[in-house]
Amino acid sequence: MLRGFFRGIRDLIYPNFCPGCKNKISPAGKQDLICGDCWEKIERNLPPFCVYCGRRLEKRGAAVNICARCLRNEFHFDRAFSPCSYTGIIKKLIHEFKYSGRDYLGEPLGRLMNDFIRDYRLPIEYMDFIVPVPLHKSRLREREFNQAQLLSEEIAGEFDKEVLTGILVRNRQTRTQTELSPEERRRNVKSSFSVRDKKAVKGANILLVDDVLTTGATSSEAARVLKDSGAGIIFVMTLAN
């Protein structure tokens, strides 16, 4: 509540600037929060997609529908989807969203995910619940919000789904994944999640939501504990990959 109050005071005093380019947003476009130029520069993820991680396939992988990374790895989720490629302006916007306290970016960034779900007719009607990938409690205190939960709420509001918060728990604070190798990432997140209420997820199809999918280690480990608790199909949805 205090966070929103102080942000409101700030916006009255200072002009609204686009978090992507830092240019002032005109009054006519102020409700969009991200300027039109930056919005158009976001690199969209386009088909053909890898049937596991959801990345755009190069020509060599298109024949088998699997990218080179996924041929070398095994994931515990069934499929992953992302509307954007993790480069350029979307990378900057996600960084601002997570680390600069710009929780209001959840709405326009969530819109990217919702548009992708509609445009590619993802079977969200078969998902029983949406589960955000949790932060450890110490990191949540530091950031004051979980970006995955805000994105989950945007999807849930658009498609009339229930968000299960507190079901998936992060047991320990892991090292940031940014500078780790793929194998180090897998070791880093191993056994870092648990399910608080197994009855709630038993037999349920779940849309697992996070901001970025890189190696897939975090999403895969979260999916593993959900499936070990009896969950059915698990799709992963991230903003970018």
Q: In this structure, what are the phi and psi dihedrals at residue 195, rounded to the nearest 5 degrees?
A: -105, 125
What are 92's two structure tokens? 């900057």
Would you list the domain boundaries of the chain?
Answer: 1-41, 44-240
Residue 30 reports pLDDT greater than 90: no
What are 28's two structure tokens? 């006519």
Q: Identify each DSSP E strand in the chain by its residue range.
A: 79-81, 129-132, 162-163, 168-170, 193-195, 206-212, 234-240
pLDDT band at 173, cuts 50/70/90? confident
pLDDT of residue 192: 84
User: Which comes out higher in pLDDT, residue 1 or 196?
Assistant: 196
Crossing angle (nearest 10°) for helices 106-119 and 147-159: 50
pLDDT of residue 14: 45
Average pLDDT over residues 148-169: 96
Q: For residue range 52-95, what is the model confidence (pLDDT) as tens digits?
A: 999 999 876 565 789 988 888 889 999 999 999 999 999 999 99
- Residue 193 vs residues 130, 217, 219: alpha-carbon distances, Å: 16, 12, 10
pTM over 0.85, yes/no: yes
Residue 3 reports pLDDT greater than 90: no
The amino acid at residue 24 is: K
CATH architecture of 44-240: 3-Layer(aba) Sandwich (3.40)
Residue 28 reports pLDDT greater than 60: no
- Residue 201 vs residues 78, 181, 186, 227: alpha-carbon distances, Å: 16, 32, 24, 9
Q: For residue range 93-119, what is the model confidence (pLDDT) as tens digits?
A: 999 999 988 899 999 999 999 999 999
> What residues have CB less than 8 Å from 33, skipping those under 6 apart?
16, 18, 19, 25, 104, 105, 107, 108
Distance CA 182, CA 188 (A): 10
User: For the chain, how many residues are written?
Assistant: 241
Which of 80, 237, 87 is closest to 69 using CA atoms? 80
Q: Are 202 and 52 in contact (CB under 8 A)?
A: no
